Amino acid sequence: MSTALVKRGPSVPVAYILLLLGWFGLCGLHRFYLGRWVSGLLWLLTFGLLGVGQIIDIFFVPRMAEDYRRGAPVW
Has residue 6 been placed in a domain? no
What local confidence, expressed as pLDDT, does residue 43 receive?
A: 94
Confidence of residue 74 (pLDDT cuts 50, 70, 90): confident
Domain count, the chain: 1
Cα distance between residue 37 and residue 25, in whole Å:
18
Asked if the structure places residue 2 within a domain, the reply is: no
Is 71 or 61 the better-scoring residue by pLDDT?
61
Asked, for residue 62, whether it belongs to a domain, the answer is: yes
pTM for the complete prediction? 0.83
Closest CA to 19 of 56, 58, 50, 46: 58
Domain assignment present for residue 23? The answer is: yes
Is residue 28 included in any domain, yes or no? yes
pLDDT at position 12 is 93
17 domain residue, yes or no:
yes
- Specify the pLDDT at position 73: 83
Q: Could you give phi then psi for residue 37, rounded to 5 degrees?
A: -65, -40
Q: What are the tens digits of pLDDT across the range 23-62?
A: 888 899 999 999 999 999 999 999 999 999 999 999 999 9
Structural domain contains residue 21? yes
- Supply the range of the domain harboring residue 28: 12-70
Contact between residue 30 and residue 19 where contact means Cβ atoms under 8 Å apart = yes
